[in-house]
Amino acid sequence: MTFKNDVHCFKVFNIMSALVATLAFVPCADAATKEQILRDVLHKDPVVRKNAIIEGRNIKMDTLELGGICATALNDSAHTVQKEAIVTLDSLGPSAAPFLPELTKYMKNKSHEIYFRIMALKAIGNIETDSNRLLDLLLGVAESSDESENLRIQALTQIGNLGTKVKTYLLRLTAMTNAANSNLFKYKILECVARIDPANDEAINNLRDAVAGKFGRKHSIREGVSTMQYDIFSDSVMTLQDVLTKEDMAQLLIGYVSSDDAEVRATAITVIGSLGTAADQVVPEL
């Protein structure tokens, strides 16, 4: 019995020794990788610089180190590097808060491609933990008449995502409708109001009208090399699903299952199908 126990202990010792040796080696490998990353972010080839940021994210590099690299990379001459820096800061979440000033400055810089500015605004929303500070920033963007309409729409979308806790700002939002210079922007304000205040009958009725085509069906805005597409029918249906009863949704959409527009028809059928027994009343009409 003693011999068997000794053999068992010897095997366990060998396994533990191998594990300790492996763990002891890992920090060295990480240190070497970090050194390589720090060299690569200065490389003349933008592909190497971009991959260095990706590698830093993959090895879970220290947040402050990686965040600092990304904050610097926001000023990189290559769009691909800028994009990877934004994606990485976004992935770090609230721990990237020390780098919000650099990210905010990037978002406000009109010389940057609108697609990346929108990405930066989304990232700020995922990093900023102070809802009042975030809301002030988003409202500032949405209210700025000389700002990109695409960026203003993104700000409205993020305000709507904050839900009922920002109802105290409804007056500022509704005031923007009077100065809206396009049907699309006016619609996006009303959509935002409906998401913040589901009991707002005027906003809900406007969304019903939007489904019927009051604000147009599809819109696109070209800015720089990017073209943003907006589908008012689908967006309205998605928002109304959160505020109307299933029975009301079924009644609202039944008239669109025979639409000449294949996308409208598909959306209507898909949503009605997801309503379950609540759609029984309209099934004979399908």
In the prediction, which pLDDT does 283 show? 60
Residues 104-115 pLDDT 10s: 999 999 999 999
Q: Rounded to whole angstroms, how far apart are CA atoms 258 and 269?
A: 9
In the prediction, which pLDDT does 270 show? 93
Across the chain, mean pLDDT equals: 86
Compute the C-alpha angle 233/194/264, nearest 5°: 10
Where are the alpha helices (H) located in the chain, listed in sequence order? 2-40, 46-58, 63-73, 79-92, 100-108, 114-127, 131-143, 149-161, 170-177, 183-196, 201-211, 232-241, 246-253, 262-274
Residues 6+ apart with CB under 8 A from 268: 237, 253, 254, 256, 257, 259
Residues 188-217 pLDDT 10s: 999 999 999 988 888 899 999 999 999 998
- pTM for this entry: 0.81
The H or E element that residue 226 is part of is strand 226-231
Closest CA to 194 of 179, 182, 206: 206
Q: What are phi and psi of 155, to 5 degrees?
A: -60, -45
Half-sphere exposure of 128 (CA within 13 A, CB side): 22
Per-residue pLDDT at 276 exceeds 50: yes
- In this structure, are residues 249 and 257 in contact, taking their beta carbons and an 8 Å threshold? no
